[in-house]
């Protein structure tokens, strides 16, 4: 296929070629893979500035997306590529092949640097989904930092550079410019731009920017950063968000409240920490979805409201393909059992074959987990309706999952995002946080605190009525 880039794509291609260090923040659907490959084509075969490129990406993106794009466009036919995923023997074999571009999944960065025995002689690195390196304490971050000085050119690609706040930017830019703009150490960055926010004695759970910090951070990184939004450059389909509200019966709601109360009784005295807030939030979300794991890993049923709602949505679709995002394993099991009863053709989209079948409209309901299908997969040819059976606190995963359908190449005029929300549960707080684009650890902690407070008030009310 002949590549005819939009003007904004030409601009970004030139930007990558002209900047040895480039942070490319492109909204979902703007074609960042084809843009980057076109820049690599020029650097490899026109200017001869590079000879060997390493692309680090999420597993399915490394395995499928980059190769698919190279095969798709005529002008990229000279690029030899090798996909270094799979078993250790398969990865080593792929890395020893003669190629121009090597793709590896991000989970194997440490292995490549420290254990593979393969010399790290790449003169250019592309980090697809730079946000996956936002944690400076991970092994993948430390391994990449170790070999960063060997690399002449580096590009960081993402549509969500700071989904959890400005703190994310430190590690991302530490990899790109080796600490030149935001500092080499996280302590320097915190001291310069932040002050403690959520605290419990000397323990700091979160930080907030000091006045003027955001503007200063953006000024510091502006010379190597380009940012574009899809709505500014593409004629996108209309995005319609709706809420399908589920109501538990009086008996089901009572059981939810009783189990919630039992959870809160296990809380230690004093401030709620991030660890137990995350645990409580997970349990509450499970119960809102209709089931919860017991301490013995048994699945305890709460209600079937969301399954009934999903059945209504599938029936109303009348054969039109639907993408369903789930979060917990028992969600997947229960959804699958219900769809089997309905005799609906469904599959979990977790392989290249299942994704191809989805895009060929051979699947009535596609089941995806946001953490494994959120980045890079092109699913827009298979449908235009996404149903959130279970919500995620992660704004990044939420946006990326929505962008599997709401993107360039979507043939429908509208994309519908339906959120199945159980009334009177933590679902409502999660959806509110996502709408306000405020998905931080502090939001999660505050939501759990609100649930605790509401539960305490219910207890007091019951006492008042009993007297």
pLDDT tens figures, 368-387 = 999 876 555 788 888 999 99
Q: Give the N- to C-terminal CA distance of the chain in Å, as an integer.
A: 78
In order of their start, the domains of the chain are: 7-233 (3.40.50.10810), 238-457 (3.40.50.300)
Torsion sign over Cα 341, 342, 343, 349: negative
Tokens for 292? 């919860």
| Rounded (10°) CA dihedral 391, 397, 401, 407 | 140
pLDDT digits (tens, 9 = 90+) for 218-234: 999 999 999 887 667 66
- Between these two residues, 262 and 116, which has the higher pLDDT value? 116
Interval 42-61 mean pLDDT: 93
Residue 124 exposure: Cα atoms within 13 Å on the Cβ side: 27
3-class secondary structure, 368: strand
347 has a pLDDT exceeding 90: yes
Q: Which one of 57-71, 250-264, 321-335 scores highest in mean pLDDT? A: 321-335
CA distances from 104 to 86, 202, 399 (A): 9, 41, 24
Q: Which pLDDT belongs to residue 8?
A: 87
270 has a pLDDT exceeding 80: no
- Between these two residues, 142 and 312, which has the higher pLDDT value? 142
Query: Who contacts 35 (Cβ-Cβ below 8 Å, separation ≥6)?
Result: 5, 9, 12, 13, 16, 24, 26
Question: Taking a C-beta distance cutoff of 8 angstroms, is the pair 170, 189 a contact?
Answer: yes
Query: Who contacts 407 (Cβ-Cβ below 8 Å, separation ≥6)?
Result: 28, 29, 230, 236, 378, 380
Query: Who contacts 369 (Cβ-Cβ below 8 Å, separation ≥6)?
Result: 325, 326, 327, 332, 350
Residue 6 CA to its chain's centroid (Å): 26
Interval 437-454 mean pLDDT: 51
pLDDT digits (tens, 9 = 90+) for 179-200: 999 999 999 999 999 998 888 8
pLDDT digits (tens, 9 = 90+) for 99-124: 999 999 999 999 999 999 999 999 99
465 has a pLDDT exceeding 70: no
464 has a pLDDT exceeding 60: no
CA distances from 432 to 169, 425, 429, 447 (A): 24, 12, 5, 10
Interval 410-418 mean pLDDT: 86
Q: What are phi and psi of 188, to 5 degrees?
A: -60, -45
Q: Where are the alpha helices (DSSP H) in 115-168?
A: 139-147
Percent of the chain topping pLDDT 70: 87
459 has a pLDDT exceeding 60: no
Q: Which residues does residue 225 pair with via DSSP β-bridges, in sequence order? A: 23
Q: Which pLDDT belongs to residue 271?
A: 47
- Between these two residues, 102 and 260, which has the higher pLDDT value? 102
Question: Taking a C-beta distance cutoff of 8 angstroms, is the pair 260, 455 a contact?
Answer: yes
Q: What are phi and psi of 369, to 5 degrees?
A: -105, 125
Q: Which residue has the tokens 């590896």?
A: 104
Q: Which pLDDT belongs to residue 444?
A: 46
DSSP state, residue 65: I
Task: Please state which of the ranges 12-21, 179-188, 251-260 shows the lowest mean pLDDT.
Answer: 251-260
Mean pLDDT of the chain: 86
163 has a pLDDT exceeding 70: no
236 has a pLDDT exceeding 80: no
Q: Which pLDDT belongs to residue 324?
A: 97
Question: Taking a C-beta distance cutoff of 8 angstroms, is the pair 287, 255 a contact?
Answer: no
Q: Which pLDDT belongs to residue 267?
A: 46
Q: What is the pTM of this model?
A: 0.63
Q: Which pLDDT belongs to residue 440?
A: 46
Q: Which helix (H) or strand (E) holds 388?
A: strand 385-388
Tokens for 318? 């009348």
Q: Which pLDDT belongs to residue 273?
A: 45
433 has a pLDDT exceeding 80: yes
Interval 294-299 mean pLDDT: 77
CA distances from 336 to 7, 77, 130, 172, 310 (A): 45, 42, 34, 38, 11
Interval 53-64 mean pLDDT: 89
Interval 435-464 mean pLDDT: 54
Interval 347-372 mean pLDDT: 91
Quote the strand ranges of 94-145, DSSP E: 101-105, 124-128
Radius of gyration of the chain (CA): 24
Q: Which pLDDT belongs to residue 454?
A: 57
Q: Which pLDDT belongs to residue 365?
A: 96
Residue 225 exposure: Cα atoms within 13 Å on the Cβ side: 18
Q: Which pLDDT belongs to residue 49?
A: 96
Q: What are phi and psi of 394, to 5 degrees?
A: -80, 110
DSSP state, residue 6: -
């Amino acid at each position: 296929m002949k590549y005819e880039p939009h003007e904004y794509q030409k601009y970004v291609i030139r930007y990558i070629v002209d900047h040895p260090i480039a942070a490319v923040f492109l909204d979902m659907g703007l074609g960042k893979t084809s843009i980057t490959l076109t820049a690599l084509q020029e650097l490899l075969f026109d200017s001869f500035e590079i000879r060997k490129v390493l692309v680090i990406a999420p597993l399915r993106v490394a395995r499928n997306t980059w190769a698919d794009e190279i095969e798709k466009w005529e002008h990229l036919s000279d690029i030899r590529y090798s996909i270094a995923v799979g078993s250790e023997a398969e990865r080593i074999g792929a890395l020893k092949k003669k190629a121009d571009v090597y793709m590896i999944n991000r989970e194997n960065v440490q292995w490549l640097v420290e254990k593979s025995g393969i010399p790290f002689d790449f003169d250019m690195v592309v980090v697809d989904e730079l946000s996956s390196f936002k944690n400076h304490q991970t092994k993948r971050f430390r391994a990449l930092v170790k070999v960063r000085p060997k690399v002449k050119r580096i590009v960081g690609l993402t549509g969500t550079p700071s989904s959890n706040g400005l703190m994310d930017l430190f590690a991302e830019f530490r990899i790109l410019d080796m600490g030149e703009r935001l500092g080499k150490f996280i302590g320097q960055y915190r001291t310069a731009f932040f002050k403690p926010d959520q605290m419990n004695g000397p323990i700091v759970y979160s930080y907030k920017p000091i006045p003027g910090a955001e503007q200063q951070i953006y000024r510091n990184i502006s010379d190597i950063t380009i940012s574009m939004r899809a709505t500014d450059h593409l004629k996108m389909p209309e995005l319609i968000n709706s809420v399908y509200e589920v109501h538990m019966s009086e008996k089901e709601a009572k059981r939810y409240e009783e189990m919630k109360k039992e959870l809160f009784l296990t809380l230690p005295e004093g401030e709620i920490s991030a660890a137990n807030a995350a645990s409580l939030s997970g349990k509450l979300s499970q119960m809102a979805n209709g089931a919860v794991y017991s301490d013995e890993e048994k699945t305890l049923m709460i209600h079937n409201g969301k399954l009934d709602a999903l059945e209504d949505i599938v029936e109303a679709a009348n054969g039109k393909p639907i993408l369903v995002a789930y979060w917990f394993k028992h969600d997947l099991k229960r959804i699958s059992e219900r769809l089997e009863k309905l005799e609906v053709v469904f599959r979990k989209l977790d392989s290249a074959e299942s994704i191809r079948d989805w895009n060929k409209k051979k699947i009535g309901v596609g089941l995806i987990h946001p953490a494994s299908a959120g980045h890079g997969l092109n699913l827009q040819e298979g449908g235009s309706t996404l149903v959130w059976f279970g919500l995620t606190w992660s704004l990044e995963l939420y946006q990326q999952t929505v962008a599997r359908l709401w993107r360039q190449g979507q043939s429908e005029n509208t994309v519908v995002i339906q959120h199945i929300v159980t009334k009177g549960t933590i679902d409502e707080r999660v959806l509110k946080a996502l709408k306000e684009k405020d998905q931080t650890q502090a939001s999660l902690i505050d939501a759990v605190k609100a649930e605790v407070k509401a539960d305490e008030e219910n207890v007091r009310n019951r006492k008042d009525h009993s007297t």
